[in-house]
A and B are shown apart, each in its own frame.
With several copies, the nearest count.
Chain A
């Protein structure tokens, strides 16, 4: 599908009773606020620069293993986070660096985790695919495609069991919709009304495979039809739209306790992981998407609204760059885990 198809409404998808992200919501106030918008802009720049440094560090062989970055997908990560409360839970797959930071984990602890340091957010046990923070309610960082989805249903179950009005956001990739576990988890969430917001990070590719070659449907939100689950699609290259839409969805979920499947349309600029040259995508396709770049889009909006000049935007980007460098510098200084750690935390007392 061409980027044009991604704008809301054109999908004919969201069921009528669903929020429309029509800007009438409380969220709309924020998204018209200058300070708020500038802050969002800065965070997206920071995430972009953070991942760029991660890639450089990997190329310099400062760490190894797999490395999946979010470059190009910042709009979703930031837009969703702003729609949540700190007490809400989040769980994701192996592409987890910036989502972890957005949820409140210090960027330097994420960097230290990548470097396998004792002060990483998983003590160096987890690495790129397994960022965790119990305090921030970030439940990982999981390496098995689709594996996190049943876990999310369990968190939703616990929220309902404890009669809280929190929700859990469960990110999954577009290719994960072909996993049986995804289907089983959505069925339970829909049958028992568990407050789970399942967000498909739909960057259209699972590694080198266009999702069209492994599914029979044109829109991934159709997976929700099998469960009569509320669902919708959002243009996640647009951080403001994403924020407003998700805010409405979440507000609604807190009332109804009903789960929701969101097809979030985005694009990853880099290969699947560092080892992937990404030859399966045409220059044209890439270009088509880069014009929709979430940072550029918001930048244009800020300038049009006279909220910022090019210089001011540049300054915010520079700030993000420096934060990322500081994160890496800190991580460089950290000690590796002590050998004894090998035998710790296999079993809890």
Chain B
């Protein structure tokens, strides 16, 4: 068991996979000589050389499409989006091309590719640099969407994503790159589609992913003081979604709060809420509640940004509400 940062765990996953399979290459802005804008690809250029670790021009649509074309003829690209805010420029290639190629071609052309990069707000980066994309990309048949909330999950899930034969959207977070955690020294993979129970509890189910898991855990700790036992579950892969894990937890606690860095709008959380009320209708003792961002573009000022994101002071009252403690 070594203690790695989230960034190191992701870097290790890429290094191991690239050593295993020469068809894998990494392309993106600053990934090579600069070792990555966030240093996730640190050392990969030295290890694998400029043919396999490539600095791209600032052409998100172009190099997303380049990756798709390369994947169609047998390579296995990892495309880094410096952040997913810029990945929106690649949406045409991701949504219209990567996701549909296998189906459009009647099953002839697989597109084994990973699009990875940080997603969501960092700190005081304002409206154009603070967006999440899972709400949009989980809507697209043909795409898989993967998240992780700690180094071990990031490592195991990125390896599985790289080995998957479909386009995988792998969502990271600037706020997590420095997070430390134990990662088994032995190589191991975490299958896509299997969620993880981060904390057991019988009173209420908290559903969260990426950096919201830490917030959910913080709220759980705090409420434990008051004798409230929260079950914290992380679906990890949002497409495919481990619905059984979710339903089972709901059948146990009968109460749910979803915490996500999205909006009170169509989102992965709203979809999960819909599924729960549909499948567990008679099991629910309270409506499925959700704590999300305020429905505003992200403001810059620290006090305003803090007010927009789901913070414990906004989450805890909602948890108490589904427990009818308010």
Contact = CB atoms under 8 A, between A and B. Distances in A.
Decide whether A and B assemble into one complex: yes
Interface of A: 63-66, 89, 91, 113, 116-117, 120-127, 129-130, 132-134, 139-147, 149-159, 161-162, 175-176, 178-181, 184-185, 187-188, 191, 206-209, 213-215, 280, 336-337, 339, 341-349
B72 A124 contact: no
B124 A116 contact: yes
A207 B29 contact: yes
19 contacts: A116-B302, A116-B304, A123-B107, A143-B96, A144-B92, A147-B97, A149-B65, A152-B69, A153-B66, A154-B66, A157-B66, A158-B69, A181-B92, A181-B93, A184-B65, A188-B62, A213-B55, A346-B142, A348-B165
Given A181-B62, A280-B34, A187 B301 contact: no
Contacts, number: 263
B234 interface: no
Interface of B: 25, 29-30, 33-34, 37, 51, 55-59, 61-75, 77, 85-86, 89, 92-93, 96-97, 101-110, 112, 123-129, 141-142, 144, 165-166, 294-297, 299-304, 307-308
Contacts of B301: 116-117, 124-125, 127, 336-337, 341
Given A124-B106, A130-B105, A144-B96, A178 B59 contact: yes
A191 B57 contact: yes
B108 A150 contact: no
A348 B166 contact: yes
B126 A339 contact: no
Contacts of B104: 122, 125-126, 130, 132, 140-141
B57 A178 contact: yes
Contact of B106 (A122, A153, A156): A122
Given A132-B106, A152-B69, A162-B74, 19 more contacts: A64-B123, A65-B300, A116-B301, A125-B105, A125-B106, A125-B126, A127-B124, A150-B61, A178-B57, A184-B65, A188-B59, A188-B63, A209-B34, A214-B56, A336-B303, A345-B103, A346-B296, A346-B297, A347-B142
Given A65-B300, A336-B301, A126 B307 contact: no
Given A125-B126, A134-B105, A346 B295 contact: yes
A133 B109 CA distance: 9
B44 to A, nearest CB: 15
